[in-house]
Amino acid sequence: MKIFNTLTRKKEEFIPITEGKVKMYVCGPTVYNFFHIGNGRTFIVFDTIRRYFEYRGYEVSFVQNFTDIDDKMIKKANEEETTVKNIGDKYIEEYYKDADRLNIERATVNPRATEYITDIIEFVKSLVNRGFAYEINGDVYFSTKKFNEYGKLSGQNLDDLQAGARINVDERKNDPMDFAIWKAQKLGEPAWESPWGLGRPGWHIECSCMAKKILGETIDIHGGGMDLAFPHHENEIAQSEALTGENLANYWMHSAFVNVDNKKMSKSLNNFFTAREILEKYDADVVRFLMLSGHYRIQINFSQDLLESAKASIERLYNCINNLENLIDEVNENKISEEEVVYLKSLDKYRDKFIEKMDDDFNTADAISVLFDLTKDINSNVGINSSKELCEKSLLVIRELGKPLGILQKSTKQDLDSEIQALVDQRQQARKDRDFALADKIRDDLKNRGIVLEDTPQGVRWKKVD
């Protein structure tokens, strides 16, 4: 399996620290608002990577943190006249609602920064004791010059970085590139007791500390959006590696942005769509399809057209599922024939191809093309004269390959709730009674709800079209 490692700027063979296991840490959301679909892409990408490792038989420890203390959290709490803790509680709950709907598997652990304050203080203390950090009036800064490899992740050297750096007026650090790992309390801010007085942790130290505490000194994969490579991950490396002398992560992975009009979707630019508002109109399968139909290292320029085309594409895949589900109810023969066994075996080539594509730095774009080839093959070879077993097993192949992508797991039958079924039955009765006006009305009403009926030799079938 090959992974593009931001650290070496190369695709490398994945060699886990412990055979059969993967330890992953992904930077999660700052919980002061609903997440937007730019954030959503990063969550979906790493969820897919995790799912794929699991599909390949790895046991994955997946940690994604919640940043629940920072300037934005404090500002939001002030605006809403409540505590930072309440804001965190609220938006963590909302995060789970949206993430669950997006079929994002729950992490092994979702640590909250504020639950690790004691460990963070210990971490900072050790860095000060070893001479990697210094205190000025209650702030503690990491001294980037002391860490020889500073800049190795982003491929920049300290001199160039320094030339471009500016010191904010409220900062009292020795060197422009130094960064705060502990911040003295400002008026009205939440704070914790520390050897440097009341204060709170800096953002970078939280991830260094939680990754170490939960997963150990060296992890297999550290991930996040592209914007985090510098300075966040660079600073995490400096702090963690200064402390332990070990590599923080063997592989660094960064997913590309979702843009709008070629600008990064972000809360500050106010050019965002929340996952929640998109999910009101589009299914999770559509959103995941959109995010995964391009390679994770290529930017997506988000638009309504893109959503619509993702919707049309996923529908084509679901039509095959719908067809198979109907056939399972309708075909006469139960047992698979010898000829069909041979055909079923021929589908292995799609599985092999899918794995080949995903093994190549999680090329979901090409893996999805394989899914289209598979369904095309099934559509032309499995039909009303096939055995039930073949229909079932073909369906299982589609589901199997959809699972690592978190798509194609729904039954098209589940939508047939009793209300719709009752209407379909009522329409059949009306036709029998030759009440064509009523029959047509029911048909039109269903159509308005996005359900179309088809008369087939096997009876009335229905399909959801949006």
Count Cβ atoms within 10 A of the Cβ of residue 120 and give its class: 0-12 exposed, 13-18 middle, 19 or more buried. buried
> What minimum distance in Å lies between the beta carbon of 210 and Zn ion?
8
Q: What is the Cα–Cα distance from 293 to 174, expressed in whole angstroms?
A: 47
Beta-carbon contacts of 100 under 8 Å, excluding residues fewer than 6 positions away, are 106
Q: Which token pair is 51? A: 């799912």
Pick one of 5, 6, 39, 250: the residue that binds ligand AMP (CB under 6 A): 39
**CB nearer to ligand AMP: pick between 54 and 227:** 227
Q: Is 207 annotated in some ligand binding site?
A: yes
Q: What is the Cα–Cα distance from 22 to 7, expressed in whole angstroms?
A: 18
264 lines the binding site for ligand AMP (CB under 6 A): yes
Please report, as residue ranges, which positions from 219 to 258 form the binding site for ligand AMP (by CB under 6 A). 224-225, 227-228, 257-258
| CA neighbor of 285 nearest in space, from 265, 310, 305 | 310
**CB nearer to ligand AMP: pick between 296 and 318:** 296
> What minimum distance in Å lies between the beta carbon of 243 and Zn ion?
16
Count Cβ atoms within 10 A of the Cβ of residue 306 and give its class: 0-12 exposed, 13-18 middle, 19 or more buried. middle
38 lines the binding site for ligand AMP (CB under 6 A): yes
Pick one of 3, 22, 24, 27: the residue that binds ligand AMP (CB under 6 A): 27
Q: What is the Cα–Cα distance from 329 to 320, expressed in whole angstroms?
A: 15
Pick one of 177, 207, 300, 391: the residue that binds Zn ion (CB under 5 A): 207
**Contact of residue 391 among ligand AMP, Zn ion, none (CB under 5-8 Å per partner type):** none
> What minimum distance in Å lies between the beta carbon of 219 and Zn ion?
12
Stretches 57-65, 264-272, 386-394, 431-439: which one binds ligand AMP (CB under 6 A)?
A: 264-272
CA atoms within 13 A on the CB side of 272: 20
**Contact of residue 227 among Zn ion, ligand AMP, none (CB under 5-8 Å per partner type):** ligand AMP
Beta-carbon contacts of 197 under 8 Å, excluding residues fewer than 6 positions away, are 138, 184, 185
Q: How distant, in Å, are the alpha carbons of 123, 141, 142, 179 from that of 174?
A: 21, 9, 10, 10
**CB nearer to ligand AMP: pick between 76 and 427:** 76
**Contact of residue 30 among ligand AMP, Zn ion, none (CB under 5-8 Å per partner type):** ligand AMP
> What minimum distance in Å lies between the beta carbon of 54 and Zn ion?
23
| CA neighbor of 275 nearest in space, from 456, 16, 46, 41 | 41
User: CB of 288 within 8 A of CB of 405?
Assistant: yes
Q: How distant, in Å, are the alpha carbons of 92, 120, 122, 124, 397 from that of 194?
A: 27, 10, 9, 10, 56
265 lines the binding site for ligand AMP (CB under 6 A): yes
- Binding marks (x or -) toward Zn ion, 277..316, rule CB under 5 A? ----------------------------------------
Q: Which token pair is 438? A: 């009523």
Strand partners, 11: 4
**CB nearer to Zn ion: pick between 233 and 311:** 233
Say whether 459 sits in a helix, a strand or coil.
strand
63 lines the binding site for Zn ion (CB under 5 A): no
The torsion angles phi and psi of 24, rounded to 5 degrees, stand at: -125, 140
**Contact of residue 382 among ligand AMP, Zn ion, none (CB under 5-8 Å per partner type):** none
Which H or E run contains 361? none
Pick one of 4, 5, 25, 41: the residue that binds ligand AMP (CB under 6 A): 41
Beta-carbon contacts of 427 under 8 Å, excluding residues fewer than 6 positions away, are 438, 439, 442, 443, 453, 460
Please report, as residue ranges, which positions from 250 to 279 form the binding site for Zn ion (by CB under 5 A). none
**CB nearer to Zn ion: pick between 181 and 446:** 181
User: CB of 34 within 8 A of CB of 274?
Assistant: yes
Q: What is the distance, to the nearest Å, from the Cα of residue 206 to the centroid of all Cα atoms in its chain?
A: 21
Pick one of 29, 88, 201, 406: the residue that binds ligand AMP (CB under 6 A): 29
**Cis? peptide before 16, omega within 30° of 0:** no
Q: Is 27 annotated in some ligand binding site?
A: yes
User: CB of 32 within 8 A of CB of 78?
Assistant: no
42 lines the binding site for ligand AMP (CB under 6 A): yes
> What minimum distance in Å lies between the beta carbon of 27 and ligand AMP?
5
- Binding marks (x or -) toward Zn ion, 152..191, rule CB under 5 A? ----------------------------------------
Q: Is 232 annotated in some ligand binding site?
A: yes
Please report, as residue ranges, which positions from 7 to 46 form the binding site for Zn ion (by CB under 5 A). 27
Q: Is 320 annotated in some ligand binding site?
A: no
Instruction: Output the known binding site for ATP.
Output: 267
Instruction: Output the known binding site for Zn(2+).
Output: 27, 207, 232, 236
Binding site for ligand AMP (CB under 6 A): 27, 29-30, 38-39, 41-42, 224-225, 227-228, 257-258, 264-266
Binding site for Zn ion (CB under 5 A): 27, 207
Instruction: Output the known binding site.
Output: 27, 207, 232, 236, 267
